[in-house]
Structure 1
């Protein structure tokens, strides 16, 4: 395959620079806004394109008669044309027309006749019958254009805005202040001049006018689609205010389907409104919610203390030393007496949103240079179905090749990835050896691709992206720290890694991706297990103590007299024994590690930094007081000071018994999985604390998916706390002033020992565990001394044996070119 063709598959073929937004209509009209690289001038192009779809048969268009012609005969007004695509794919007829709505109607009419039942929407047809994309994706796929060619991230005109409201219910609460940060970086604050409908309506109109004047390409905020836009839309509707936030006028906010959308409303209102699971969109601008980038980052790294703006900004060092903090429930109250403090708070919010968008948004920006989708859709898309599938569809249509339909598997199960736990407890002098993109590397090494990908497009893309990612990493390292060049190349590398690493998941997603192939995925997994077994055996032969290994890499402890050069030498020796494209790299060294369960561990760096990994140590549902205890206790355990662990436990128990722990710290943040009707039907058989808390608080109706904070009160009662501020869900807040301290003390003392202290059990002998976590309220006359007690490490498994080869598969490729 020529490099030019592969680059067209990845990047498109139309070099038009500076596209910042595309808006297309089903009738074949498209508007393209471009920012000229270098000058920053904004231009708009209005063009016509021919809407298209791909069908499995022409039979459903037979009723068009002479209006249906082969594409080679040319296009004339009113004609529908078809092109038969080559190869064995089920979707093999590319149909074009001048109006997409009319074309869809023609297809639905034919399908209804053929199948003898009415169909009113293409979405109701099976994916084996039709491929239909949104108008913007039709335009980008057919034209070969992509966003942002020749533009750097800093050349985008970006605006951040944030609302301050009197409460969380847009049906009754008001917007009293809106902070903005325009493309030039200057924050400003708009305020309601009064408290009635007229004042709030005037505020919304001024907000719309400022957006029009500042004219951003992108509008950003944290939880933008979960709070700000839905709240603005609801208030504007109630106040009869139009919201022409786009560049093309017309109606205000439009909807697009999304897996994650608004989370507003309560009870029946929440569950009955289908638009609660939609996102907003407008012509000419892109809405970017930084929550998406945060969730994507935390899924990969698992290092965030929460997902709220303030927690994440502190974690990444974006928050300034003078940052203003006000509990969310008190913002309006504070505004009545100290409005300038709230203005500072709001300006800080939009400043942090800008910093977070710049820090984490580069990957989505880079993906928009590749995939034929709107930038805002790529920001919240999964890498497999949201990025790889559009790339593959474009590649096949560019090649004139028929596309396979989504197919269910043949019943073969997807074999799991290799995961080994070799030792539990406390280890010292720990090294992490990273296996860089193991599964994509094995796909490349042994040419394992999906059987139905007759063009070999997936493997070609993985090859090309891997090579180009290495070049981007090299350019990033050579660029000056903090420079736009470094930021751009780091983002490009991250985007390419995201796509490359999703290729294996794409293979194994039977029925969900167009080219899924569970047999190819299982072959990749088999070879992955063999590689992991080899490197574990070779490391063990060199005198290390294996701790844990999976497809991401291996943790092991080294002898006491080893230096860093010895650690690096051993990793290099083992790396030389692996298949050519499988890269094993020295990834870090740590003073100590608590190994609890597979992928659940604590690491302490030589500089004292503590990293907690896995749901055993970090969970959004965990009570904050327990996680705070764990952090303190783990530090002491890794330092080898069991007496200090005892002190942390005793102080926590005593703080609970004296009710010095705020109720917010014992409350769990839970998501309701049953609505009020479902729970009512089950309540007599089984009562559950979260739902009992809702009923005890007077809530008679609610919808599934609602998040609440619940705790166990004295007497076994269920207690409910107010929801945290919308942008700080997942982080703790300082609302302890007015809360009741009526929690069940002894329940939480038991929880401390049986749930949180239990995370340390692997690092202690049974006697030491009993001693450390003995109830301080019931002292024993014969308590053993902890003066000489030390943490333990227990070997629980030996390195795996190599897998026997299966027939001749070592020399065969199950798919690909």
Structure 2
């Protein structure tokens, strides 16, 4: 049966204006809006100039009473006409923000509100946001325009219809106050790569390069400009160099002004006040221009890794290699040597730079579809949605548009009544090594429970959140079906997969939106706790029913259940058990067979290692994956885990002995024992507390003559002999990314290998080897990790040693059912 149409809910979700092909919107506070459109399937581009009435939502008209006759209800023209008239419309319902006030000029409107507020409060109020979220809601101009018109980006366009350009700077260093841009790699919208280079020394040569870059971008006329770490390095570096050289950066489609800033949680660090690079007060900003969207592929990488947790890092080279976007012949040059190599072998650097922009383009196409699809829904600039959090960055604009479209008053943010948010269910049933593992996945458990039991925010009197989640689920299923029918690799398939991914982001964020007390407009901790309560009940039911069917439970949470099955079971048996339990769940809650693995080390909740029947080892959780972990320890841990999961305890011992002896013979490069850390204290902050507590990262900097550094800067440090703090100088690439790890056997330059050997031997055992402790009997663990240079006459044999599995909790109690049976762990059998 085909469900009936839901035009109102579709307007909430997709907008209502059918204008196709919008690729960028730029609005000014004075009521001017500029809309760039591309005709679907062509390169033809149009610009539309429009007028809109800037608007703001207010809880009261009190601060506008001073306008007198210039303040009129909407639809009643002033008699006689009053220049600069302000109109209002009262929205329906009990919400606090009930007056939609508009004017021809947004600055004049804001000035009028602030004038009245300053008089009422008897103090100067400088900005609408200073009135507080309970008194006023003022959106950025583009969002005012999009909400009011019901327009969205990219109607009738597919991802490949956008003209995209990638550029990447090569610089002599990382400090734009003294370093220069000497080369720019550029990939145009037709896929052609080129390099632009300085042709003269000094300021004149660099300034000429920047002018040619601006001209080339304007000539190519892209809808989107992108790169990896674009907002963290390329744009701020370009901006500062252009200002120093007095080169206008007319990168937009409307000419000057050049780059503008907007606040953001991540991006360029802009210092405020005196102090330069060492200023303590800093904020983050993104760059924006009229008519083009600046997209940073680092945002897509972080969003992907938040869900998948499978990337080796977030740097361009590491991600491109992991995703198969770069080949074995990819040119790699240490960041600190880029300019040096260019002076000797410029073609090598050109090749390196062209590969950078090619990989950035590949990342954008592979991972950027979700943000593209979100822009077809939410009333927000595409570039803002690319780095937005799903709850406040996407759902909030959708909810605001739904209420304004429906003429309903909006509730203000509430801080909550003190009720705490109950945690999600998480059960660890067994630790150690188990074989024949099955993962049963609960698809979007919390949103499914919200739909099943109609649990939504109490203050959402339109039930807009639940209605949109319902429509998202239905339309996501349709998008998935359409993607499967489309030819592999086709633009149609890519578009439908992107829509499905975007909808999944929104669906899964609905519960988080409920529980984000004080952060989201419709947060409701009581509703969130009811979802959590039902989730715990349902998870208990699944665990109880699985245990009754003879499996060994290992771990369960809202994402699913890991369990071990008897050795004689086939995949058919595994799927049958999952299907039987799935049939007992409410209709909108789906339990699916999600995978099977040869073995698993269960370390602690959400921290485990999985060995597939075929393929590489999978590591999950901070115990096994950490950006601060020393590479030598990670390598040891991965090798040791593979042996442990195969049941070969003696091979674990051999791996440990080899690692210890390599350290003591100083065969391990210094890079392998170093750790990358992010600096969170400015020089003044650290020096103020240095006498009470010395910290290795800052001591490494000071010891090596670095008296100045920036907050957020990443450095690679190690513990040197004699308790000294060591610093590796090549911690970053030329664009501020983490330096790629040298390949095994690759020369790493001058390497003193002056690290504290015994410290790193202790660290190997106390930190990395300790993560294997739950997979071994205590006496076997002691034997495996005994010091190889201190042999004992009574060392036990490991010939019969096997990994162990220990039940730490039985599936019983109120949430599992009091009559549940305790299921013991089967012995390990390789």
2:96/2:409 contact within 8 Å kept: yes
Corresponding residue for residue 20 of structure 1: 23
Pick which of 734-743 and 22-31 moved more: 734-743
- Look up the SS of the partner of 2:371 in the other structure: helix
For residue 291 of structure 1, the aligned residue among 275, 298, 310 is: 298
Number of residues paired by the alignment? Answer: 805
Deviations 1:70-105 (A, max 9, x none): 002148652100000000000000001000011000
Range with bigger deviation, 520-529 or 766-775: 766-775
Question: What's the secondary structure of 1:72's corresponding residue?
Answer: coil
Which of 44, 48, 54 is the aligned partner of 1:45? 48
- Decide whether aligned partners of structure 1 residues 804 and 63 sit closer, same or farther in structure 2, where only a CA change above 3 A counts: farther
2:425 to 396, 418, 424: 418
Deviates more, 1:567-576 or 1:606-615: 606-615
What is residue 823 of structure 2 aligned with on the other side?
A: none
How far has the Cα of 1:632 moved from its partner?
A: 0.9
1:185 to partner: Cα distance? 0.4
2:541–2:816 CA contact under 8 A, matched in 1: no
Equivalent of 1:756, from 753, 768, 774? 768
Aligned residue number for residue 55 of structure 1: 58
Name the TM-score, length of structure 2 as normaliser: 0.95
In the TM superposition, 1:796-811 aligns within 5 A as: 796-803=808-815
Deviation per residue, 1:148-196 (Å, 9 max, x gap): 0000000100000111111111111111110011110010111111331
Aligned to 1:73, what secondary structure does the other structure show?
coil
Cα 1:2–1:94 change in 2 (3 A) is farther
- 1:2 is displaced (CA, Å) by 6.4
Q: Matched residues in 1 for 2:638 and 2:216: separation?
A: 46
Offset, 1:53: 0.3
Determine the C-alpha separation between the residues in 2 that align with 1:83 and 1:678: 51
- Cα deviation for residue 666 of structure 1 reads 1.1
Instruction: Check if 1:606 corresponds to 2:613.
Output: yes
Name the CA distance, whole Å, in 2 between partners of 1:727 and 1:802. 53
The correspondence of residues 448-527 of structure 1 with structure 2, limited to 5 A, is 448-527=455-534
C-alpha distance after superposition, 1:522-557 (max 9, x if no partner) = 000000000000000000000000010000000000
Q: Distance in 1 between matches of 2:666 and 2:90?
A: 75
Q: Which moved more, 1:74-83 or 1:564-573?
A: 74-83
Shift of the alpha carbon at 1:365? 0.1
3-state secondary structure, aligned to 2:43: coil
Deviation string for 1:368-397 (max 9, x for gaps)?
000000000000000000000000000000
**Match for residue 145 of structure 1?**
151
Match of 2:98 in 1: 92
Measure how far apart 1:199 and its partner are: 0.8
**Unaligned ranges ≥5, structure 2:** 818-830
Contact kept in structure 1, 2:326 and 2:359, CA below 8 Å? yes
C-alpha RMSD of matched pairs (Å): 1.7
Aligned-partner Cα distance in 1 for 2:57–2:654: 69
List per-residue Cα deviations over 1:457-487 (Å, max 9, x = no partner): 0000000001100111111112221111111
User: Shift of residue 264 of structure 1?
Assistant: 8.4
- Which whole-Å CA distance do the structure 2 matches of 1:265 and 1:28 have between them? 31
Which residue, 27, 36, 41 being the options, matches 2:39?
36
Q: Deviations over 1:195-214 (max 9, x none)?
A: 31111111111000100110
Q: Does 1:639 pair with 2:642?
A: no
**2 CA distance for matches of 1:608 and 1:6?**
44
**Is contact 2:483-2:492 (8 Å) kept?**
yes
Residue 320 of structure 1 deviates from its aligned partner by 2.4
Name whichever of 160-169 and 717-726 sits farther off: 717-726
**Deviations 1:264-284 (CA, angstroms, capped at 9, x unpaired):** 899942353977611110000
Partners of 2:690 and 2:203 in 1: CA distance: 43
Shift in Å, 1:667? 1.2
- Aligned mates of 2:290, 2:558 — CA distance in 1: 43
Counterpart for residue 814 of structure 1: none
Partner residue of 1:811?
none
1:407–1:511 Cα contact (<8 Å) kept: yes
Deviation digits for residues 295-331 of structure 1 (CA, Å, limit 9, x no counterpart): 1111111111011000000110011232111111111
Match of 1:810 in 2: none
Partner of 1:812: none
Per-residue Cα deviation, 1:197-256 (whole angstroms, up to 9, x for no partner): 111111111000100110000001000000001111111111111110000012111111
Query: In the alignment, which residue of structure 1 is the partner of 2:393?
Result: 386
Q: How does 1:553-572 map to 2 (within 5 A)?
A: 553-572=560-579
Q: Tell me, what secondary structure is at the counterpart of 1:755?
A: helix
What is the TM-score of this pair, normalised by structure 1? Answer: 0.96
